[in-house]
Amino acid sequence: MPENRIHDVFVIGGGINGCGIARDAVGRGYSVFLAEMNDLASGTSSWSSKLVHGGLRYLEHYEFRLVREALGEREVLLANAPHIIWPMRFVLPHHSGLRPAWMLRLGLFLYDHIGKRKLLPTTTTVDLRTSEVGKPLKSEFTKGFEYSDCWVNDARMVVLNARDAADRGAEIRTRTEVVGAERKDDIWEVTVMDRDSGQRQTVRARLIVNAGGPWVDRILARVVGRNDAHNVRLVQGSHIVVPKLHDHDRAYIFQNSDGRIIFALPYEEDFTLIGTTDQDFEGDPKNVAITDPEIEYLCAAASEYFEKPVERSSIVWTYSGVRPLYDDGASAAQEATRDYVLKPDPARGAPLINIFGGKITTFRRLAESMMEYVQDKLGKKSGAWTHRAALPGGDFAVDAFPAEVDRLKSDYPFLSKKQARRYMRHYGTRARVLLGDARSLEDLGQDFGHDLFAAEVDYLMAQEWAREADDVLWRRTKRGLRLDASQAAALQTYMSGKSAA
């Protein structure tokens, strides 16, 4: 039987767009129910290149509006989440056989000035023969440019949006699949199934937001009966992780002879992240995995620039995701627009609005655009608010992160500086909730290895919807890069026991 309550907005999908919309909507006074069939950020939103950026290469495709909006959002998000987002300088070596130096400089000049840049420094020219950033590169690269963008912990961005939404009153259900939806006049009756227990429930709502990402067309077909739906172009992007290739803190952006670019990014202190690829994908997005040609491509593209070749044998981890780009008919996967498209379902009765495409950088603006549709259908409650609202744990100034690490270390002197820094990077000021009245490492409980203690796992289960070891290891903390199989198994045993208790 349907529950008596009627929610204003039912969101399908717990990626960055779904969680961002849920947060914005509940903060305006709408009642919200969000269902995610797996874990939060378990799809596209945790398999990105981890950048909050304008998209320098999109200038070549004349997507000036998208770049301008993304550059503006870069500073908004940095100010609202300085624990999980931070500035990063990118080195672009000039390759004599590719784009001329004047073209690169012109593009970077536009990049510096078409957005609302206040917090980040401008582009500079770099002599790679004398600068430390030139040392890891082949000697033929003598000139480059250094510009600003930001790094983001993408999976944590998703979870913190969900946490804030829940704190404001939204109902967030993970491992809950939408298996049917039926219009009853102006109300949706949505059938959801708990994927662990198999139990079904009917939830009523006035409006549905389909933020299913790669599954958006499948949701339209299977849930709503729109078997003719074909709106997304699935594009696979893969990354490789290797032991760190240099000691400085800058990233690299490399041009390739095929017109594409790849990044080589400092990752989790001890690694370098290299990606991404762009190729069309057919099949079920849950089965996406890096291919041998992608591995060869990334190794060869990075080895074109680095003095020490990147070998397949040095890869410690790979990941792949499927980007649900709006099918605009572009001939090549890398040319398909990264802009978002919101499309209301034309059927009469209770409204359904679908999301296609988008970038992690513009999720907040996408949510604001969605709110215009929601207000039009359900009536306006209150106005935009997220542009000046810190995400949980991010309530400190952009330049105050080092001071916040010192404060945490002072409050919990048993922590090493490295531990205090990691807790601040993951949880910001909410690290104190995690640590509570602990006065020693022993007070943090079982040690699973590499400073992952039971207190953190308990916090993630209680506050951040973590249910399985992979939720903790690969989305909430990235400790999976360091823990071995026996340590991961011990974590799963611990979490299974907590869930059963």
CA–CA separation, 312 and 329 (whole Å): 34
User: How do the residues of the chain divide into helix, strand and coil, expressed in percent and rounded to 5?
Assistant: 40, 25, 35
pLDDT at 3: 63
Lowest-confidence pick of 241-245, 277-281, 431-435: 277-281
Residue 320 host element (H or E)? strand 317-326
Residue 45: name the closest of 475, 494, 342, 335 by CA.
475
The pLDDT-based confidence of 57 (bands split at 50, 70, 90) is confident
Six-digit token pair at 21? 């919309």
The pLDDT of residue 221 is above 90 = no
CA-to-CA separations, 386 to 220, 361, 365, in angstroms, rounded: 29, 14, 9
Q: From the CB of residue 382, how many other CB atoms can be counted at a distance below 10 Å? A: 10
Q: Does residue 333 surpass a pLDDT of 70?
A: no
pLDDT in the model for residue 229? 63
Q: Give the per-residue pLDDT at 334.
A: 62
* pLDDT tens per residue, range 152-204: 999 999 999 999 999 999 999 999 999 999 999 899 999 999 999 999 999 99
Amino acid at 385: W
Q: What is the pLDDT of residue 193?
A: 97
Cα 362 from chain centroid (whole Å)? 11
What gap in Å lies between CA 348 and CA 367, rounded to an integer? 23
pLDDT tens string 346-400: 888 999 999 998 889 999 999 999 999 999 999 999 999 999 999 999 999 999 9
Give the mean model confidence (pLDDT) for residues 272-299: 94
Question: CB 331: neighbour CB atoms within 10 A?
Answer: 6
Q: Is the pLDDT assigned to residue 1 strictly greater than 50?
A: no
Output the six-digit token pair for 259.
């017109």
